[in-house]
Each structure stands twice: as C-alpha cells, then as structure tokens.
Structure 1
Amino acid sequence: MQFKVRRMHVHLHPVWFLITLTAFAILIKLSWWQLDRAAEKTGQLQQQSEWQAQGPVNWTQLQRIDLSQADLLQFADHGQWLAPMVWLVDNKIVDGKVGYDVVVPVQFSRFDAPLLVNLGWIEGAGSRAELPEFEIPEHLAIEGVLRTTFGNIRLGQNLEDHGQWPMRIQQIELDDLAAYLPQPAFPAVIYQQGASPFVTHYQAVVMPPEKHRGYALQWFLLAIAVVGVALAASIRKEGSDE
C-alpha cells in the first residue's frame, strides 16, 4: 500500500499493514473494555451508596425484595449456623498470606431457606493436607453486604468431599452445595462486615472507576503509538531510495 503526503511517500507492506491494523483494533477494544468496566464500577458504587442510605434490611424484609434489584444491599439480622456445615473457599490472600474464606449456611427461621454467609478469612495451615482449626458460634449476628452475583469461570473440580467438615471449595456454586443442605439455599451470599471470629476483608469494588479510566487511556495511547511507529517506519522522502 502506497500513498503520498506532500513530499513524503508512505509505503506499507501488506503484512505489516495487517499486523498494525490488528494491534490497533485489539488495543482500542481493550480501551473500550476498561471504559465499560469503569461505568460498571460507577453503577455499583452508586447502588451501594443508595442501599447504605436506606439502612440494612432483615431476613423478613429481604424475602419481599426483588432480587434483581437487591445486589449490594445492607443486611442485618440474627440467625443460627447449620452446624457442622462449613466450606472453605481456597486461595484467598489477605496481607500477603494465603488462606481461606469461611462460608457457612445460616437459617433465620426453622422452615426458611438457609442463606450462605461468608464470615471472613482465616490463614491456611502449614500443609495443603491440613485444614485450619477454628470455632464458630451457634448463633450469629449477621451484618454485611448481600451479593446476588458471585462465582467466576472455573476449571476442574470445585468441591473436595472427604466425608468430613470443613470441605474445601474453589468458589461458591449453589448447585454444588445444595446436596448438603436441608433445602435449596437462598440465591444470594452475605459477606460479613460486622463482628466475626474471622478476618473480614470483602470489598464489593476493589478497583475504583478512576483506575479503569486510567488504563483505558493507556491502551488508547498505545494504539495511537502503534500507528505512529508504523507510519514513521514507512515514510520515504522524495528522491530517497525506495
């Protein structure tokens, strides 16, 4: 591909042109993706702020709320741990230390569906063959944030069932845990933010929107740089050797 700009001839080899175009498209796509993430985080922060302004709801109130609108609401109530069920979510890092998030089913009335509660983090034992030892009160004051979206793409087996509690899991998946519960769990998870025998560390929004916008700008500038370098390498002055 050739074209002339004033006294400059620009010659782009077809292969390098395709490589440049592909790189430019990928970088622009990454920039837009970061902008989408920034918009998503802005929406989450706004929704969380609105729920915080309304104050926490209890179990009875929660059952009357449309769950499609309930993500990030504040929850507070007293419930009973369905002992001895405990799931340890693997590979959680807090302050540079590897451990587990402790998830238990809690029931707020005898015949209602259990609600899964992430009580917080505990450091792992010295060996993968060992699980940490801990105690959980039978009655719990639950005070935290509710999430209706959780879990990520997972490869391999999720749950390790060795016939005893606690059991190690890779992430919370309600279908995997349903077989151990007296009835299907409520389709949400509470992340404890009040008093807990474990380290509460959950943040609904880890990376703020401003950081995503910064990354978007970086990807955009890289896209411009790729085009600029390609053009600079292809320019020949009039009278120069082709």
Structure 2
Amino acid sequence: MHFRMAGRSFSVHPVWLLITLTVFVILIKLGWWQLSRAVEKEQQLQQLASWQAEGPLSWTQLQQLPLAEADLVQIADQARWLAPRVWLLDNKMVQSRIGYDVVIPVQFNRFDPPVLVNLGWVPAAGSRNELPDIEIPEELPIRGLLRTSFGSFRLGQNLEAGGDWPMRIQQIELESINPYLPEPALPAVIYQMEQSPFLPHYQPVVLPPEKHRGYALQWFMLGVAALGVALAASLRKEDDNEQN
C-alpha cells in the first residue's frame, strides 16, 4: 500500500497497517479510560468531602438513605458482633509487612440484617498454617466509612473453609460469606477508621485525579509515538527502494 503525505511517499504493508492502527486505537482507548477514571475520582472526592461536612451518622439515620446513595457516608454507632464469625482477608501489605484484614459481621439493631465491618489489619504469623489470634468484644463501637462498592479480581478459590474460625478469604464476596450468616448481609462494607487493636489503613481514593490524567497523557503520547514509528519505518523503506 502506497500513499503520499507532506510531499513524501510512504509504503506500508496492509498487515503492518492493521497492527499499527490496532495498537493506536488500544492506546487511545486506554488514555480515555484514564480520563474517565479521573472524573470518577473527582466525584468521589467531592462526595467524600460533602459527607465529611455533614459529620458521622448513626445507623438509624443512615437507614433513612437509599443504600445506593450512602456510599462514602461516615457512621458512628454501637454494634453487636455476630460471634464467632471472623474472616481474614488475605495478602494485605501494611508498613512493609504482610498480614490480614479482619472482617466480621455485626448488627446495629436486633432485627436489622447483618453488615460486614473491616476492623483493620493484623500481621500474619510466621507460617501459613498458623492464623493470628483474634479477640473481639461482643459489643463494640463502629467509627468508619461505608462503601457500597467493593471487591476485586481474584484467581482461584475465594474461601478457605476449614470448619473453624477465623476463616481465610481472598476477597469480600457476599456469595461466599452469606451461607455462614443467619440472613444475607447488606451489600456494603464498613471500614473502621479509628485506631483499635487492629490497624485501620483503608483509603477510599488511592490515586488522585491528577495521577490518572498523567497516565492518560502517557497513553496518548504512546499512541502518537506508535504512529510516528510506523510512518518513519515506511518512509525509510521507500527511500531505500528509491536509492536502489
């Protein structure tokens, strides 16, 4: 395939043209995806700031909101642990040490459905066969942040059920957890934000919008670079043919 641009002649093989255009489209799409992530993070930060200005809500006050609108709400109330259920969220690195996040089900009122609470981090023992000792009071104060969006990609089995508590889990999935509860839990997780026997470390926004915009610029530049390299290669090929 031959074409002229800016007074120069280019020769491109159709297969290489298809590959170049495919790479260019993928890189541009990645750039736009990063820009959309930046907008999403800005909205989350604005929502978080708005709820922070309102101050923490009690569980009764939070129930007045539709769950879909309660994301990033701060909650402060007393809850009852549904003992002996404890899940250890695996492979959590904090302060350069590997460990677990401690996840338990609680009820704020007797007849309300359970809700999961991430109490924070504990270091792992020296062996995978040994789990840390977890002590949780029957009644405990919850001071945390409610998220209605949680979970992540995983490989393999989620729950390592050995019949004893605590149980190790790869990520929070209600499909894995609900069979161990008296009734299905709310599709939400409260992340404890105050210091306790466990170390809270949850960050609702890990990468700021500026980071995503920077990544978007990098993807766009890579896309332009891919086109530039392809054009330069086809031009050199044409020039070589003319010299011969």
C-alpha change, 1:157 and 1:6, in structure 2 (3 Å) is: closer
Is this contact kept in 2: 1:7–1:238, CA < 8 A? no
User: TM-score normalised to the size of structure 2?
Assistant: 0.94
Following the alignment from structure 1 to structure 2, what is the Cα–Cα distance between the partners of residues 103 and 32? 36
Gaps of 5+ in 1: none
C-alpha change, 1:89 and 1:239, in structure 2 (3 Å) is: closer
Q: How does 1:1-242 map to 2 (within 5 A)?
A: 1-5=1-5, 7-235=7-235, 236=238, 240-241=242-243
Following the alignment from structure 1 to structure 2, what is the Cα–Cα distance between the partners of residues 6 and 100? 60
After superposing the two structures, state which structure 1 stretch, 231-240 or 152-161, moved more: 231-240
Following the alignment from structure 1 to structure 2, what is the Cα–Cα distance between the partners of residues 82 and 5? 72
- Paired AA for residue 123 in structure 1: P
Overall identity of the aligned pairs, in %:
64
Is this contact kept in 2: 1:8–1:237, CA < 8 A? no
RMSD across aligned C-alpha pairs, in angstroms?
Answer: 1.7
Is this contact kept in 2: 1:100–1:123, CA < 8 A? yes
Q: 4+ runs of 1 displaced by more than 6 Å?
A: none
Shift of 1:6: 5.2
After superposing the two structures, state which structure 1 stretch, 91-100 or 106-115, moved more: 106-115
C-alpha change, 1:8 and 1:148, in structure 2 (3 Å) is: same
Paired positions, count: 242
Following the alignment from structure 2 to structure 1, what is the Cα–Cα distance between the partners of residues 190 and 77? 11
Following the alignment from structure 2 to structure 1, what is the Cα–Cα distance between the partners of residues 16 and 185? 56
Query: Secondary structure at 1:240's aligned position in 2?
Result: helix
Shift of 1:238: 11
Gaps of 5+ in 2: none
Following the alignment from structure 2 to structure 1, what is the Cα–Cα distance between the partners of residues 8 and 195? 70
